Amino acid sequence: MTILGIESSCDETAAAVWADGSILSNIIASQTIHEQFGGVVPELASRAHHKTIWKTVDQALREADISLDQVDSIAVARGPGLIGSLLVGLSFAKGLSISQERPIIGVNHIDAHMYANFIEHEEVYPFLALIVSGGHTRLVQVDELFSHKVLGKTRDDAAGEAFDKIGKLLNLDYPAGPIVDKLSKEGDPAFHDFPRSMINKGLDFSFSGLKTSVLYYTQEKGEEFVQQNLNDICASVSAAITDVLHVKLKRAVKKTGVKNIMVAGGVSANSMLREKVEEMAQKMDLHLMIPSIQYCTDNAAMIAITGALKAREGRYDDLQIKPFARLA
């Protein structure tokens, strides 16, 4: 089966082709217009998708060396995400579905982050997934394909959102998460003890208190101090966020007894988080799945693989499928 995947839930226009059990192409057109605003502007994002979606899909098909006639199904992100951006991808996918007479498959963007792990890892159940991205932080138990149970979620800011907002406080460019990670490698995680909210309680997360703590700290120390110690501050912030994430995952393992674990979403690219989870998996004799960096952030390969899994189960949609800004 050959699946064309389309992703447009936020500010990345992406297309990918899955065929014969592997990804043949994975094209991402990143939008740079949002950098000047320090965050994604929804209207500008949807307009940029309009301009690039056909070129992106065409490039994915060319790189995979297939034609539209060879595509069996079209998988597309239906949410959660920015409604205007989702509409562009979903409308385009519907057009292809009609013109090519091919079935359409709506994909949950968060599900896709999890199942992106099966691009490179053997499909195995049950597993625990720590999903960490700019808009979502949650712990999910998956007993079988598409059977999900949310064990914990953020009560306020998501982990990726915290990285970006704190980066903005530190006068870093958007998106700040990867920059904080890069600077952290040259810093001391023990430089300052930022709060680890709810680290000793349950499986839910909270990162808004950390953001406030960094705000007060930087205001007290002053801009010159912050710039002189930027690497150490970034390392301390990264330590605070990743400590909470990996401790919660460890607690979930002990609570459920599940030995297969995965980390997914944009923040799974964070080097400090990867190191901590890898060390935890080794000590606890766990089977760990983390995607390659190219499959961590928003991409269409994750949509294509999830579409392939849904097609295998006969889970197709019709042209009445709608986008959702929020999706369970």
Annotated binding site for Fe cation: 109, 113, 298
Residue 143 carries which side chain, given as an amino acid letter?
Answer: D
Alpha helices per DSSP H over 14-107: 42-64, 83-100
Structure tokens, 186: 């040259």
- C-alpha torsion angle, residues 79, 80, 82, 85 (rounded to 10): -20
- Known binding site: residues? 109, 113, 131-135, 164, 177, 181, 270, 298
Q: Which residues are annotated as a binding site for substrate?
A: 131-135, 164, 177, 181, 270
Residue listed under structure tokens 């992406």:
14
Contacts (Cβ under 8 Å, ≥6 apart) of 155: 204, 205, 206
Distance CA(128)–CA(255), nearest Å, equals: 11
Separation of alpha carbons 323 and 108, rounded Å: 10
Helices (H), 38-186: 42-64, 83-100, 109-115, 159-169, 177-184
Q: What share of the chain is helix, strand, coil (3-state, %, to 5)?
A: 50, 20, 30
